[in-house]
Amino acid sequence: MLKQYSFNSLTASDIEQLIARNTDATHAIQDAVSQIIEDVRHRGDQSLRELTLKFDKVDLETLYLGKEDIEALAKTITRDQQRALEIAFQNIHKFHSSQLRRERVVETMPGVECWREVRPIEKVGLYIPGGSAVLPSTLLMLGVPARIAGCKEIVVCSPPQQTGKINGFVAYCLQLLKIEKIYLVGGAQAVAAMAYGSESLPKVDKIFGPGNQFVTKAKSMVQSMTNVSIDMPAGPSEVLVVADHTAQPAFVAADLLAQAEHGPDSQAVLVATSADMIQRVNDELQKQLDVLPRAEIANMALQNSFAVEVNSLQEALDFSNRYAPEHLILETDEWKKLLPSIINAGSVFLGHLTPESAGDYASGTNHTLPTSGYARSYSGVSVDSFVKKITFQHISQEGLTHIGSVVETLAELEGLHAHKNAISIRK
Amino acid sequence: MLKQYSFNSLTASDIEQLIARNTDATHAIQDAVSQIIEDVRHRGDQSLRELTLKFDKVDLETLYLGKEDIEALAKTITRDQQRALEIAFQNIHKFHSSQLRRERVVETMPGVECWREVRPIEKVGLYIPGGSAVLPSTLLMLGVPARIAGCKEIVVCSPPQQTGKINGFVAYCLQLLKIEKIYLVGGAQAVAAMAYGSESLPKVDKIFGPGNQFVTKAKSMVQSMTNVSIDMPAGPSEVLVVADHTAQPAFVAADLLAQAEHGPDSQAVLVATSADMIQRVNDELQKQLDVLPRAEIANMALQNSFAVEVNSLQEALDFSNRYAPEHLILETDEWKKLLPSIINAGSVFLGHLTPESAGDYASGTNHTLPTSGYARSYSGVSVDSFVKKITFQHISQEGLTHIGSVVETLAELEGLHAHKNAISIRK
């Protein structure tokens, strides 16, 4: 089932190949996206209407739904479903609320006070994928930290359903977030509209959210073309599961399949301390695949996945850190000991009863995470992603006497005399 | 001297123009940088030697200096200069040490525990500009937070002096930072080497540091071509000074000139509550320019700068937030009242005795800051820039009973049955 390797017999270049992600040369996509961006930039709403007709097959009169529409749609889902979304909302809110704290003032020298204060990014744009897989959970994962940060304007874009509306789950999440408008625009055109603004859509300062290759390419292009920033670069989703002899093969297989069903380009990696465990997981994969509605997609993803046999949990972590997975699941009794060894990962799931799907939806952590090895240098989305930390400083007369000559000396050695004079003139 | 506008008579489009930064279409630069990147990528050290000979006119045998060279060079500066660098180091260290704190575990539901832990980015690359303006202060501003974060490998690149070495100030800072090697490579080729690695230079996970247009373009290109990330996009440096009737025109002028001397494309903006203050600052600018060594550069930058007369400090802050300056100086007795109104700025200097040059060198705050309006969505460099915050979660048997059905309901409504099964199989 899963291609199988033994860590001991891998060369350095084998490992390089295993940890490399699929990167496709997407010139065709780049050209198409570039055209869309230019068109939206110059023709605004008119272009958005035409592109929505072309790609989503919906002819829109107004490009958004307002409060009443959202209220009506939110009523179309069951009370149980509402309740589940509410609990997810509460848990995400509770966890993310803990992320921002007031920082103290540091007196670096007598009379020289420095500190940081948090300010929201004023205008943020949230892209919520639509079409076949509508993801209300993504709206909660982006909307909750945006609200906690205090962003003044939260622009939400999502492609319209065939009805010209959105589904009830997304509508209910909008209500939970107290967002009263949603723009019915998807794809690269949504990203372009948020980057440049149109008659209906406000330009934003930062764009968040996952999407298909067109959305991803558009985000990366507007990042380099405008002064709008983006949450992070995005690639296909991935999981790495570490399993030792205490692992339950059925649980491991279920977790690998939960990743694999996302899309044919998803990657599910198993790192196990014995060949026997890999065999047992493979057997379970086959069994569970047989009854899975999205079996075809999952199967394609598994072709693209692999298992590595290692000699110890430490070796498993070594490989994992090199791979830098978006999701890391440690299915071992020994998880506590391993925590300090985890260096590169987006989000980590500990023990036998902590599946990734808990964090995907409802435990409270964010599911917008760095993929494709970006976990080496990026964190997942958090309240931090929706704020700036501004440094402030105040120097008193006393402070100036302490720091003045230091600054003068340093400015002089860098040959910047006006910098020096800004001190001297005040003394 | 400074072009002068009155806020009241500005139209919306006038303001758009004033807050827009110079963005030059740099296709020539892009092509040159693209060639350099490809050459370094394919020919490694050999290419780095050739490009260093071409651009820096230095023929290098080895591409770096080691511990002994650094020690010897560090001895060539005076004790006073060493002392000034030490104090700057200490203040920067003290302030940045306060930026990382352990976060608490949040139990979002009974038995569902979520938290974040900080991990260093393992391999970071610091670019220190060289040539005519060598900036040891930049090495401290990047090296100190990298050390506090605990980065395992800190790769420093700086173009060689004509001697084939580095200057003593940079050497002394390397010693303070306990960095025992510096690569004598500058420009786009340094960025390419850190992004792809070469025989001598290790590939890094994230590249930091300011530089000329070639360096900046190279950073933005490797960001989109590889999975190496960068600190932030960079543009010319800028300051916005708010002055009311309590301001000292001589101090204001000194601060504007300290910005202007950076380069002809720097921008120094004055926002004053009276035309009279603008006049008096203009007079002072002329007076101080006359005795400034870098007067020619400063003069060119002032051509590119302007003053805005406003009716109140609140109006001044409104304009400042729209401009989103890298540096904001509030030369008014009323600075304390204004703090909550500051939304978009990189670093803020408060009162009459807090010149920007204090923060540029020695007060403790970082001088690597967002320019060109990026302060709307970016923070300056801090220890945060050198770490990831990884989320962890652990769910107990009790936790699973609380969260299980919520996850199952949400997975089902998104049509992801393997996600649901990862819960069900554990119940």
Residue A251, domain CATH: 3.40.50.1980
Edge-to-edge order in the sheet of strand A306-309 = A3-6, A306-309, A267-272, A238-243, A327-331, A347-350, B387-395, B112-120, B106-109
Bridge partner list, A242: A271, A330
Contact B382, B99 (CB under 8 A): yes
The CA–CA distances, whole Å, from B144 to B18, B87, B154, B157, B158 equal 36, 13, 11, 16, 17
Q: Is position B96 within any domain? A: no
- Token output for B246: 């309590």
**SS3 of B6, please?**
strand
Tokens of A75: 């009523």
Regarding whether A299 and A201 lie in a shared domain, the answer is: no
Return d(Cα A190, Cα A187) in angstroms, integer.
6
Q: How many Cα atoms within 13 Å fall on the side-chain side of residue A259?
A: 32
Q: How many residues does chain B have?
A: 427
Q: Could you give the CA distance from residue A197 to residue B81 in angstroms, rounded to a whole number?
A: 51
Domain boundary among A233, A253, A284: A233
CA of B6 vs chain A CAs: smallest distance (Å): 26
Of residues B371 and B102, more confidence is placed in B371
Same domain, B353 and B415: no
Look at the pTM and tell me if it is higher than 0.80. yes
Residue type, B84: A
Catalytic residues of A: 326-327
Domain boundary among A342, A364, A386: A364
Is B353 among the domain residues?
A: yes
Measured between CB atoms, does B242 come within 8 Å of chain A? Answer: no
**Taking a C-beta distance cutoff of 8 angstroms, is the pair B226, B196 a contact?**
yes
- Of the residues A138, A348, A403, A424, the best mutation for testing chain B's interface (the one with the most B CB atoms within 10 Å of its CB) is A403
Q: Between chains, do A417 and B137 touch, taking CB under 8 Å as contact?
A: no
The reply to whether B170 and B143 lie within a common domain is yes
Compare CB distances from B227 to A224, A343, A372 and report the shortest one's residue: A372
Q: How confident is the model at residue B131 (pLDDT cuts 50, 70, 90)?
A: low
Which member of A84, A108, A229 has the closest CB to residue B406? A84
Q: A355, B422: Cβ pair inside 8 Å?
A: yes
In a domain, A143, yes or no: yes
Q: What is the DSSP letter of B20?
A: P
Dihedral Cα A245, A248, A250, A255, nearest 10 deg: -90
Q: What is the pLDDT of residues B331-388, one digit of tens each?
A: 999 999 999 999 999 999 999 999 999 999 999 999 999 999 999 999 999 999 999 9
Q: What is the mean pLDDT of residues A109-119?
A: 98
Residue B24, pLDDT above cutoff 80: no
Report the candidate in B332, B327, B326 with the shortest Cα–Cα distance to residue B353: B332
Residues B62 and B183 in one domain: yes
Quote the pLDDT of residue A75: 96
Same domain membership, residue A281 and residue A353: yes
What is the distance in angstroms between the Cα of B76 and the nearest Cα belonging to chain A?
A: 13
Q: Is residue A85 part of a domain?
A: no
Last residue of a domain, one of A340, A364, A388: A364
Tens digits of residue pLDDT in A293-348: 989 999 999 999 999 999 999 999 999 999 999 999 999 999 999 999 999 999 99
How far apart are the C-alpha atoms of B205 and B241, rounded to whole Å?
37
Claim to verify: residue A214 and residue A276 sit in the same structural domain: no
The residue segments making up the domain with residue B406 are: 396-424
Res. A25: pLDDT tops 60: no
Is A13 within 8 Å of chain B by CB?
Answer: no
Selected residue of B85, B158, B377 to mutate for chain A interface (largest A Cβ count, 10 A): B377
Mean pLDDT of chain A: 95
- Cβ–Cβ of B410/A112 closer than 8 Å? no
The pLDDT of residue A132 is: 62
**Chain-chain contact of A169 with B349 (C-beta, under 8 angstroms):** no
How many angstroms separate the CA of residue A424 from the nearest CA in chain B? 10
A96 domain residue, yes or no:
no
Contacts 24+ apart (CB under 8 A), B96-99: B96/B144, B96/B145, B96/B148, B96/B364, B96/B366, B96/B382, B96/B383, B97/B148, B97/B383, B98/A103, B98/A104, B98/A106, B99/A103, B99/A116, B99/B145, B99/B148, B99/B382, B99/B383, B99/B384
Phi-psi region of A373 (alpha: psi -120 to 50; beta: other; left: phi over 0): left
Residue A388 lies in a domain: no
Rounded to whole angstroms, the Cα distance separating B96 from B329 reads: 21
For residue B30, which residues of chain A lie inside 8 Å, CB to CB? none
Nearest chain B residue to A109 by CA distance is B91
A185 lies in the same domain as A277: no
Say yes or no for a CB contact (<8 Å) between A418 and B288.
Answer: yes
Q: Which of B327, B356, B367, B408 is catalytic?
A: B327
Residues B126 and B186 in one domain: yes
Same structural domain for residues A336 and A410? no
Q: Which residues contact B208 (CB under 8 A, 6 or more apart)?
A: B124, B125, B126, B127, B142, B146, B230, B231, B368, B381, B385
pLDDT (tens digit, 9 = 90+) per residue, A220-271?
999 988 989 999 998 899 999 999 999 999 999 999 999 999 989 999 999 9
Whether chain A has a CB inside 8 Å of the CB on B294: the answer is yes
Q: What is the DSSP pairing of strand B229-230 with strand B206-208?
A: parallel
Give start and end residues of each alpha helix (H) in B235-394: 249-260, 275-289, 295-303, 313-323, 335-338, 356-361
Find residue A127's DSSP bridge partners: A157
Binding residues of A: 127, 189, 212, 237, 259, 262, 327, 360, 414, 419
Our count of domains for chain A comes to 3
Select from B26, B89, B106 the residue whose CB has the most chain A CBs within 10 Å, as the one to mutate to test that interface. B106
Catalytic annotation present for B16: no
CA B151 to chain A, closest CA, distance in angstroms equals 11
Decide if A414 and B116 are in contact by the 8 Å CB cutoff.
no
Interatomic CA distance for residues A205 and A320, integer angstroms: 35
pLDDT of residue A79: 96
Residues annotated within a binding site of A for substrate: 237, 259, 262, 327, 360, 414, 419
List Cα–Cα distances, B309 to A57, A299, B10, B222, in angstroms. Answer: 52, 66, 10, 42
- SS3 state at A240: strand
Considering only CB atoms, B417 lies closest to which of A95, A292, A390, namely A292
Same domain, A226 and A290: no
Same domain, B208 and B315: no
Q: How many CB atoms lie within 10 A of CB B25?
A: 7
Predicted-assembly ipTM surpassing the 0.90 threshold: yes
Answer yes or no: do B162 and B150 share one domain.
yes
Does A351 map to a domain? yes
Q: Does residue A386 fall inside a structural domain?
A: no
CA A212 to chain centroid: 13
Q: For residue B216, give how far its alpha carbon lies from the nearest alpha carbon of chain A (Å).
A: 12
Query: Cα separation of B97 and B87, whole Å?
Result: 15
